[in-house]
Structure 1
Amino acid sequence: MTTNGGTRTSLYAWLKSSRSAVSMVGDGPLAVLFPPRCLLCERPTFRLRVLCDDCMASLPRLTGPRCVKCQEPLEDPSLDLCRACGTRRRWFDRAVSIGPYDGAWGELIRALKFEREPAVARFLSERMAEFFVTERPFRDIDVITYVPMRRCALRERGFNQARLLARGLARRVHLPMQKLLSKVRETSPQARLSARERRDNLRAAFRPITSIRGKVLLVDDIFTTGSTVEECAHALKDGGCEEVFVLSVARA
């Protein structure tokens, strides 16, 4: 699939319009005239599904030797921890992602963030729920929360994608979802910052809004350097949380 801006915009527009049409006419005969398209290959799916069977089956997972704490790729497979996790304290106890950001997972996340497509939010939260039940440390989670957004970004987008994912996940695994953190100061966008600049940019940017006990699962859409979830985990533990685990859709 080509990834230039025009192609992606037209694809998302068709995805949205075709799903809207099917939503109005249901799964009856008229649905054949307005079949929703697979987000990745554009083939008709004939139901309100984000991906066709082939694209669904080929969604990639993270592979190769990786850090047991943050899933950073390891140059030396005999090691358990990456340089960052091995040389400094990490406030989160473990961070895992379903797959790599490059490719299919990135396309899905961009469709959610920039097109506000409800079907994509449901699809991703379903995949997170499937992943959740396979992770042993998640079995004793007490509450699910999410990474807060910058106020200006929230005003511009109108929603927090991490909150949508956390809410959908919580419903599917039958756990409470609570807002546990607030962002107490504005920060610069992280995209063009180095790892050190990201840490400095986010330092003391989050604060717990209630007393917290037990084990918390922190949800975000993308794990890049870990600076954001690191600061969130720091704030959660300052609030009394015993352990913080992180689940994201994709790792950049």
Structure 2
Amino acid sequence: MSSQQINSWIKNKQICALCSIRGADHHGLCAGCHADLPWLLHYCRSCALPLPLSASPGSLCGHCIRQPPAFDRTLAAFEYDFPLSQLLPTIKYHRQPAQLGWLGRVLADYIRDRQDGDWPEVLVPVPMHTLSEFKRGFNQARLLTQVLGRSLHLPLAEPVRKVRRTPHQMALSLEDRCQNLQQAFAVHARPPRHLALVDDVMTTGTTVNTLAQALKAAGAERVDVWVLARTAEVR
């Protein structure tokens, strides 16, 4: 640790989780790094796909107009861009889950400012297959959900499980993603009327859409999606 970092730590007790130089005053970040995050400002009100600056507030993307998803609304704090595009894979594949603490608190603030008043009864993390979770050592969606639950005073529930291990979605086309998840999830407990699915990144939305279909078939009436970051995926 440099002398500048040590002096910052002594003075402020905590340094910024991103720049490691300035004191943290925004849930683990300095004001500059907090402001420089790739905040998602213009997005589809259904799936949170980033939209052009010219889009009207509350617009829908073309895909959601043509084929409305099973979930009802998505809130995503960030576009999947630097530094999130480097930080989130590092969390998952290099076992650094502690970063989910400040990320979850920032996401909680974002949701608190934008939730429409009809709050979900529970938060449901996107499940991993048991073997995949054992291999990684944690489910990042569950850890993120725990931070959100504490910040927003909402309980965590897991009424759905992943019962079939599947290849990673990122290497597949949209059509193959849908086929990849067929019969991959099973609802084992009746879900509440209104819940929010929680995950770190949303790409095409295939996973959360499949989960929303299963949860609504089991009795849920409204399924929201809360994620840290949304990619600008071309469908």
TM-score of the alignment, normalized to the shorter chain, above 0.5: yes
Alignment equivalent of 2:194, drawn from 203, 208, 215: 215
Q: Is the 8 A contact 2:38 2:81 kept in 1?
A: no
More deviation, 106-115/154-163: 106-115
Residue identity in the other structure for 1:61: W
Change (3 A) 1:116 1:37: farther
8 Å Cα contact 2:24-2:30 kept in structure 1: no
1:237 aligns with 2:212: no
Structure 1 residues 46-103: Cα deviation after superposition (integer angstroms, max 9, x where no partner):
89x7533321222121134x32211224468369322221122411001121011110
CA distance in 2, matches of 1:37, 1:113: 23
Q: Which runs of 4+ in 1 moved over 4 A?
A: 35-39, 44-47
Among residues 31, 41, 44, which one is paired with 2:19 in the alignment?
Answer: 41
Q: Distance in 2 between matches of 1:147 and 1:102?
A: 22
Matches within 5 A, 1:190-205: 190-205=169-184
1-structure distance, mates of 2:92, 2:127: 14
Q: Corresponding residue for 2:40?
A: 62
Instruction: Supply the distance in 2 between the matched residues of 1:50 and 1:112 (Cα, whole angstroms).
Output: 16
Q: Which blocks of at least 5 consecutive residues in structure 2 are unaligned?
A: none
Counterpart of 2:213 in structure 1: which amino acid? H
Larger RCO: 1 or 2 (CA < 8 Å, sep 6+): 2
Structure 1 Cα separation of the partners of residues 217 and 170 of structure 2: 27
Q: Which amino acid aligns with 2:19?
A: C
With over 3 angstroms needed to count, the CA separation of the structure-2 counterparts of 1:198 and 1:180, relative to structure 1, is same
CA contact (8 A) 2:132 2:165 kept: no
Post-superposition offset of 1:172: 1.1
1:71 to 21, 37, 48: 48
Determine the C-alpha separation between the residues in 2 that align with 1:95 and 1:46: 29
Give the 3 Å change call, closer, same or farther, for CA 118–197 of structure 1 in structure 2: closer
Q: Does 1:161 align with 2:140?
A: yes
Give TM-score, length-normalised by structure 1: 0.78
Contact map agreement 1:212 1:236 (CA 8 A) in 2? yes
Which residue in 2 is equivalent to 1:185? 164
Q: 2-side partners of 1:135 and 1:189: how far apart?
A: 31
Provide the rounded CA distance (Å) in 2 between the counterparts of 1:130 and 1:39: 17
Report how far residue 45 of structure 1 moved. Answer: 4.2
8 Å CA contact 1:40–1:107 kept in 2: the answer is no
Q: Which moved more, 1:139-148 or 1:77-86?
A: 77-86
**Does the 8 Å contact 2:203/2:230 carry over to 1?**
yes
Is 1:133 matched with 2:117? no
CA distance in 2, matches of 1:113, 1:138: 32
Q: Which one-letter code corresponds to 1:205 in the other structure?
A: A
**Deviations for 1:102-140, whole angstroms, at most 9, x for unmatched residues?**
102223323422344354121011012111212233642
Q: CA deviation at 1:174?
A: 0.9
Q: Scaled by the length of structure 2, what TM-score is found?
A: 0.83
Query: Does residue 122 of the first structure (1) align with residue 101 of the second (2)?
Result: yes
Separation (CA, whole Å) in 1 of partners of 2:171 and 2:94: 23
